[in-house]
Structure 1
């Protein structure tokens, strides 16, 4: 009996034939460097589709991986959406429990560049957490790079994140929440404002006011992970604490100075009223 992914794969194959985008099943198999006999076994329900065949089909014929694995969305992707999708490699225990893959800082540039090589993800460290919420869905953790999210997150912290399906980016990304954003060349941790519906961009914001806000176009987005928890291995350095306290004191001084000006203005206004009252008498 075919599994549900194989059934959806066959539907995509049949639609390609019906629309004459492939001449035959044999031509389809050969175009993917796959044995026509093995494809025939899949189409007859005698064996299930392989991950490698799925990867090749997605790359060449733009089969929608979200449809294949969840049943949601269209069977095929547009050129634009095809650039944003990648099959997510996951690691499981012998009992089929999914593990959390950790992406350390030295591996993040390579992680952003890798498109379809599952061996790289399989080489990364994995672990599990006891909370049930980390047993549902796909989770990944990342080292926090740099100081752009101080004082919320510090370099050396780890953030544990839930995977956000690309089909949910437009509606599911919430303004001012923190996300790990994987682009074509980098991994960043930022707060975001969602402009995907209007201008096909995400605006990314640092908690550290030293860093400028900027926008990332949809075409550069690879993966988006919602930050659910932080793991802090150590306290921030004295220099970071001193800078944070200095910034807080500067802001407090500015507030006091502004309130002082308001009080002075109020005093002048009261004095004018009193002088006017004395003259009227």
Structure 2
């Protein structure tokens, strides 16, 4: 986060707050404020969000803009990140949900924008997803447990990347990583890319540069043939029975005494 340290210091001073006063407002230690302003540490996502809200800024502005006396909020424009997508429709002119199996992922990287290629993908429809543009992706691996490998994620196309929300899960199609299903931890402005994290903490987070990203889809549902395993935790009925047995044992010991 290239400008976060200087931005935090400048913004705090414009509010005429000491480091201790700001720390109290954010419910953190004063030493942490000093570390952030001196670029010795970076605030976590939730704290960064809280700071941005306090200063009435977006997280992108707080982390990426160089905020000083000359800084002005940039006008919002969606023109630079609108994207065109190839889709197929059924006999009633309703958009299909195309399925991208794992074995087709490599081909999808080359043909995702080609209407002829997209037309060759398996297609289906779901009644709850009849408004918008959706695609289904088969995922592999255990990086997003408890979602099992082989599950199919149904996702909605994100036309404007400004609509991406940190903390939520997406299908990200990129040149280097291919098709991945990840949680977005943080986003900079479009030219800076996305930070992707796995729900399985055995996997390290990583950044994907915006120039490498081809498509982004917001996860809406999943389909899996792997049913949940029965819980190992005792049921309420079992706990009640165990308590009754324990009470009987205690009563028996008391009676003998």
Q: Give the TM bin, normalised by the shorter chain.
A: 0.5 to 0.7
Q: CA RMSD in A?
A: 2.6
Which residue pairs with 2:135 in the alignment? 140
Which residue pairs with 1:42 in the alignment? none
- Secondary structure at 1:203 match in 2: strand
- Secondary structure at 1:101 match in 2: strand
Seen in structure 2, the aligned counterparts of structure 1 residues 140 and 116 have a Cα distance that, compared at 3 Å, is: closer
Matched, 1:125 2:122: yes
Aligned-pair distance for 1:199?
6.6
When normalised by structure 2's length, the TM-score is 0.55
Aligned-pair distance for 1:184?
1.6
Distance 1:235 1:144 in 2: 16
Which residue pairs with 1:215 in the alignment? 207
- Secondary structure at 2:189 match in 1: helix
**Correspondent of 1:179 among 150, 170, 173:** 170
Distance 2:158 2:190 in 1: 20
Matched, 1:163 2:157: yes
Instruction: Answer whether contact 1:177 1:191 (CA < 8 A) is retained.
Output: yes
Aligned-pair distance for 1:233?
1.2
Which residue pairs with 1:228 in the alignment? 220
Q: Hey, which of these two has a bigger chunk of helix by percent?
A: 1
Which residue pairs with 1:193 in the alignment? 185
Deviations along 1:205-229, one digit per CA (max 9) or x if unpaired, are 0011111100001001100000000
Comparing 138-147 and 112-121, the one that deviates more:
112-121
Distance 1:176 1:211 in 2: 17
Aligned-pair distance for 1:102?
0.5
**Correspondent of 2:105 among 72, 92, 108:** 108
Instruction: Answer whether contact 2:191 2:211 (CA < 8 A) is retained.
Output: no
Which residue pairs with 1:53 in the alignment? none
Seen in structure 2, the aligned counterparts of structure 1 residues 143 and 115 have a Cα distance that, compared at 3 Å, is: closer
Seen in structure 2, the aligned counterparts of structure 1 residues 198 and 169 have a Cα distance that, compared at 3 Å, is: closer
Seen in structure 2, the aligned counterparts of structure 1 residues 194 and 86 have a Cα distance that, compared at 3 Å, is: same
Seen in structure 2, the aligned counterparts of structure 1 residues 89 and 198 have a Cα distance that, compared at 3 Å, is: closer
Residues 77-92 of structure 1: pairs in structure 2 closer than 5 A: 87-92=84-89
Distance 2:190 2:130 in 1: 35
Aligned-pair distance for 1:237?
8.5
